[in-house]
Chains A and B, each alone.
Chain A
Amino acid sequence: MKRVYVPLALLIVLILFPLVVTDAYYQHLMILVLLWVAIGSGWNLISGYTGQVLFGAAAFFGVGAYTAALLLSKLDVSAWWGLPLGGLVAVLIAFPFGWICFRLRGPYFALATLALNEIFRHIATIWESLTEGMVGILVMQTFISKIPYYYIALALAAGSVIMIDVVTRSRLGYYFVSIREDQDAAESMGINTVYYKMISLCLSACVIGLAGALYTNYMGFIDPKVVFSLHDISIMAILVGIVGGVSTVYGPAMGAFIMVAIQEVFRSGGFGLLVKLGKATGWPVMATVTKYVSEAHVLSFGLLVIFVILYLPNGVVGDWSTLRKTLLFWKRETA
């Protein structure tokens, strides 16, 4: 029963959130978190459950984003149609890619997705007549209030988490995991590995593509460097996945929250607290400290990855019991 009640309670809290917290700044941060929940869940299905590590999530994200933007700029159709279509186009890209590249195993598949990511970025940059190149495409935001975007993002995030939950508890999920654990054994058991890997990849691509289309609608401006970014999208997706917990349903949600929070806390110097502290104490050293802290957010990402892989290889959610025990132990020690 706990399996249903806790997520349900969380969902209700999330539904009420924008009604209680009316500050646009926190609403914006939560929209980012929800967007990353969707991307992280998509990444988790193909990488965590099926074991085919995706290093190029941005390829699907960018394709979804550009689908939405091009609908408006070329066909004069509302960019909101990009939401269903963005997912579809991402699947259309994933399909031939999977067909060709599923013969590659382990790190080689990962590298191929990375190459796909880069190739798409170059195409979007060079094909100026279609994509405007680095000049980028503008989409006017439909709503001034953040609330509609928030609920769409929430629907997408909740939908992708539920999708993962349903899929992984179905027969499909067992096939996926068996492919991850031992592909040859799965093959010899009569599982058509290419077929099931394809299903997994297409579902992932669809979710990530949807997130991309939502990004276009919400942010209102895209260029190749932003939506096909290896660092800010593809690697961030991996970080969200492994920090939260590979191959767990709620891992990406936790990971998304942690990553966005870390980024914002460092960027704003602990929400401006350090600056206030500096002013109040008048210590000149505080200015330097503030500067270094705000510069350290990427460094903190890197250190976090190293720490998580070494000590929490299954992420915060996957290793929750270990983590809790350690914390409890520590508490008892200090008390």
Chain B
Amino acid sequence: MKRAALLVVGALAISLICLGISMAADPIKVGVVLPLTGEQAKFGEIEKNSFLMCLEEINKAGGIKGRPIELLIEDDTGKPDVGRSAVEKLISQDKVVVLSGGYSSSVTYAMCAVAQQRKIPFLVTTGSADKITEQGWDYVFRLNPPVSEYPQALESFMKEVAKTQSVAILHENTLFGQSGSKEFAALCETAGVKVLMKEGYEAGAVDFKPLLVKVKAAKPDMVYMISYIMDAALLMRQSKELEFNPKLFVGGGAGFTLPEFAKNAGDAADDVFSADLWSPKVPYPGAQEYFDNYGKKFGSPTEYHGAEAYASMQVLADVLKRAKDLTPAGVREAMLVTDMKTVFGPVKFIAYGKKKQQNQLPTYLVQWQKGTLETVWPKSVATKPYVYPILPWAEKKK
């Protein structure tokens, strides 16, 4: 008897709650899918915070035509089938008008396929496999550049300043590492730079010395490494240990530009170059401000993934403002003619090569100088002059 009463009370409570929700102002629903648990959770969290930070500013400023935006953030746990569950739920139950997010490429691909089939526009924030925008999908837009376009700035630096003759390429065996290293090797080939070796490794290795010894013996002018934070830090620490002195250490973005890299590599990080998409010092409106505000609000620094998320939200707000009607088709129409400036750079979805509805961004070359990351190339946006050639380890100690 008691239990029956309890059940009735519970049911009443739930229906009251539901009633309460339906009576609130009618927000515009936007779905965002990010990895909030599992191995990639760290970056999913930064992106989620950035989305919410931007959302707060938009809604404070009055939202979209008087209506607030509501973000429905779902967790994909880093698995494609779960990511797909999340998107199916957002589309068929929550009836969102537009989707965003997408961190790892495999999950992003699975989600975009659903979005395309169900004709809901999807703005990709991070998933960087080239193929995602090469499917001819007309409901998928991508804010971030694909992985093949990261080393553009490095190319001109190698030609004009370093006059590099030979390179060794080391990469982690991930999508980012494998396709990035292939693109870079092809780029070197056409530029007449000799690729002495190109070798992958399983992320999380303990000891890179056997690999580094081999690279050292090959005597390349430059070492190009595509690695994640901790592998990157270990590679540099062990290069120092082995006193391996090429003229140039260059990272291929990702791990090499994050503050944790410098923290973990210590003085071994000094003078290391890296290709980069974004740093707080890029000449885009609001970039530095975003970086500072994030640090103030969450107590830990943000990085380019966060900027991508913040910019995605800016684009979404802009698109929803311009959309003639708030249906998926209407949002898509508005998205097609996007032309705006975000903290992550100018955004415009264009078709080129095999790609469609892809945003193109300039890339930069950055360098760690005494523990801070400085933009050094192209010269027009440099915050500090580059240090080249770099000193051998033995002389640095003094």
A-chain residues with CB within 8 Å of residue B117 when the two chains form the complex: 141, 144
CA A232 – CA B17 in complex, angstroms? 36
Q: Does B247 contact A (CB under 8 A)?
A: no
B-chain residues with CB within 8 Å of residue A297 when the two chains form the complex: 37, 77
Q: Does A136 contact B (CB under 8 A)?
A: yes
Given A28-B85, A28-B88, A232-B79, A136–B175 Cβ distance below 8 Å? yes
Segment of A49-57, A94-102, A249-257, A261-269 engaged in the interface with chain B = A261-269
Closest to A294 in B: B75
Q: Does B92 contact A (CB under 8 A)?
A: yes
Closest to A263 in B: B82
Closest to A223 in B: B106
A-chain residues with CB within 8 Å of residue B21 when the two chains form the complex: 276, 279-280
Q: Which residues in window 203-251 of A have CB below 8 A to B?
A: 219-223, 225-226, 232
CA A297 – CA B77 in complex, angstroms? 10
Docked-complex contact A134 and B178, CB < 8 angstroms: yes
Q: Which residues in window 1-31 of B have CB below 8 A to A?
A: 3, 14, 16-18, 20-21
A-chain residues with CB within 8 Å of residue B49 when the two chains form the complex: none
Docked-complex contact A219 and B17, CB < 8 angstroms: no
Closest to B119 in A: A144
CA A263 – CA B85 in complex, angstroms? 11
Give A208 Cβ to nearest chain B Cβ, in Å.
16
Interface size on A, residues (CB 8 A): 42
Given A134-B178, A221-B80, A268-B74, A277–B17 Cβ distance below 8 Å? yes
Q: Does A172 contact B (CB under 8 A)?
A: no
Docked-complex contact A298 and B173, CB < 8 angstroms: no
Given A23-B92, A24-B88, A267–B80 Cβ distance below 8 Å? no
Closest to B177 in A: A134
Q: Does B105 contact A (CB under 8 A)?
A: yes
Give B272 Cβ to nearest chain A Cβ, in Å.
24
Docked-complex contact A135 and B88, CB < 8 angstroms: no
Closest to A29 in B: B85
Given A144-B117, A297-B77, A134–B174 Cβ distance below 8 Å? yes
B-chain residues with CB within 8 Å of residue A267 when the two chains form the complex: 37, 74-75, 77, 82, 85-86
Q: Does B110 contact A (CB under 8 A)?
A: yes
Docked-complex contact B173 and A294, CB < 8 angstroms: no
Docked-complex contact A136 and B129, CB < 8 angstroms: yes
- The one of A122, A126, A136 that contacts B106, using a Cβ cutoff of 8 Å: A136
CA A32 – CA B80 in complex, angstroms? 12
Closest to A144 in B: B117
Q: Does A181 contact B (CB under 8 A)?
A: no
Closest to B84 in A: A28
Give A284 Cβ to nearest chain B Cβ, in Å.
15
CA A191 – CA B232 in complex, angstroms? 56
B-chain residues with CB within 8 Å of residue A273 when the two chains form the complex: 14
Docked-complex contact B84 and A219, CB < 8 angstroms: yes
CA A128 – CA B92 in complex, angstroms? 38
Docked-complex contact B173 and A134, CB < 8 angstroms: yes
CA A232 – CA B179 in complex, angstroms? 25
Please encode chain A, from 8 to 19, with 1 for each CB lying within 8 Å of some chain B CB and 0 for all others: 000000000000
Docked-complex contact A221 and B109, CB < 8 angstroms: yes
Q: Which residues in window 127-170 of B have CB below 8 A to A?
A: 129, 131, 135
Q: Does A138 contact B (CB under 8 A)?
A: yes
Given A264-B85, A267-B77, A135–B175 Cβ distance below 8 Å? yes
Q: Does B93 contact A (CB under 8 A)?
A: yes
Q: Does A295 contact B (CB under 8 A)?
A: yes
Closest to B176 in A: A134
CA A263 – CA B88 in complex, angstroms? 15
Please encode chain A, from 122 to 149, with 1 for each CB lying within 8 Å of some chain B CB and 0 for all others: 1001101000011110101100100000
- The one of A28, A221, A280 that contacts B20, using a Cβ cutoff of 8 Å: A280
Q: Does A170 contact B (CB under 8 A)?
A: no
A-chain residues with CB within 8 Å of residue B14 when the two chains form the complex: 273
Please encode chain A, from 302 to 335, with 1 for each CB lying within 8 Å of some chain B CB and 0 for all others: 0000000000000000000000000000000011
Docked-complex contact B91 and A24, CB < 8 angstroms: yes
Please list the 3 inter-chain residue pairs (A to B) with the smallest Cβ-Cβ separation, ordered nearest first. A280-B17, A25-B88, A221-B109
B residues apposed to A, CB below 8 Å: 3, 14, 16-18, 20-21, 36-38, 41, 74-75, 77, 79-82, 84-86, 88-89, 91-93, 105-106, 109-110, 113, 117-118, 129, 131, 135, 173-175, 177-179, 182, 200, 202
- Other A-B pairs, 4, CB within 8 Å; known A221-B110, A226-B80, A279-B21: A134-B177, A134-B178, A267-B86, A297-B37
